[in-house]
């Protein structure tokens, strides 16, 4: 079904880009993307998100190496599992963000000790900071698409999010929500298949 409108068009045309030209993305463009991200809704309008833009080859390499070490450790600890080889094959690309001109680390404030005390495991979901940051990330990627830039949102690397946080000097009360690779695209991937809306929606009347 084709739905008219610029927003629907951008949503349908955006692609996850994994191959980039070497050209850098200017600070001015990145700031425009972050501004778009900051117009996302957020829980309590707290805007508990943060964006760390990493273009340093050294830091990107350290982050990617931390991801590889973490997944190698997962493989070693689960070598007797029947599915571990498939998991490791899939995870082999989780550090590929280092090939992009920049990687944006999207982070959010963690629940404090009082919130964890009164809500336990539900503290993070109730606080809503990670959900808010994820919505901001979507704004970021849609704005990048409109500017002709490519992005790819990645979560497989989050197996090493503590190590990556240390590599970028992330404040202790922030946790990584996702990574967004960013650059000028060097590929034009086809649209992947999508489930029809009727398969994923339930109406309770």
* Structure token pair of residue 61: 């390499």
Question: Is 10 domain-assigned?
Answer: no
Mean pLDDT of 104-126: 82
Question: Is 205 domain-assigned?
Answer: no
Question: Is 4 domain-assigned?
Answer: no
Question: Is 8 domain-assigned?
Answer: no
State whether residue 83 is helix, strand or coil.
coil
pLDDT tens sequence across 13-72 = 999 999 999 999 999 999 999 999 999 999 999 999 999 999 999 999 999 999 999 998
**CATH number of domain containing 144:** 3.40.109.10
Whether pLDDT at 123 is above 80:
no
pLDDT tens sequence across 144-185 = 999 999 999 999 999 999 999 999 999 989 999 999 999 999
Question: Is 9 domain-assigned?
Answer: no
Question: Is 1 domain-assigned?
Answer: no
132 CB-side CA count, 13 A? 24
- Regarding pTM above 0.85, the answer is yes
Whether pLDDT at 81 is above 70:
yes
* Structure token pair of residue 162: 């503590």
Element (H, E) at 124: helix 123-127
Q: Count how many domains the chain has.
A: 1
Question: Is 201 domain-assigned?
Answer: no
Question: Is 3 domain-assigned?
Answer: no
Domain of 37?
Answer: 16-187
């Amino acid at each position: 079904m084709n739905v008219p409108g610029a927003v629907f068009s951008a949503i349908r045309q955006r692609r996850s880009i994994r191959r980039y030209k070497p050209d850098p993305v200017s600070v001015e463009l990145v700031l425009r993307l972050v501004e778009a991200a900051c117009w996302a809704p957020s829980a309590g309008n707290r805007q508990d998100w943060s964006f760390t833009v990493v273009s340093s080859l050294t830091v990107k390499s350290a982050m990617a190496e931390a991801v590889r070490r973490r997944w190698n450790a997962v493989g070693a600890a689960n070598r007797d599992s029947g599915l571990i080889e498939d998991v490791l094959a899939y995870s082999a690309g989780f550090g590929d963000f280092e090939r992009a001109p920049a990687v944006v680390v999207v982070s959010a404030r963690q629940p404090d000790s009082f919130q964890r005390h009164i809500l336990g495991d539900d503290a993070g979901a109730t606080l809503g900071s990670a959900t808010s940051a994820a919505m901001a990330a979507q704004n970021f990627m849609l704005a990048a698409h409109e500017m002709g830039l490519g992005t790819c949102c990645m979560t497989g690397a989050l197996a090493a999010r503590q190590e990556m946080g240390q590599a970028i000097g992330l404040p202790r009360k922030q946790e990584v929500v996702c990574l967004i690779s960013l650059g000028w695209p060097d590929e034009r991937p086809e649209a992947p298949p999508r489930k029809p809306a009727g398969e994923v929606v339930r109406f309770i009347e």
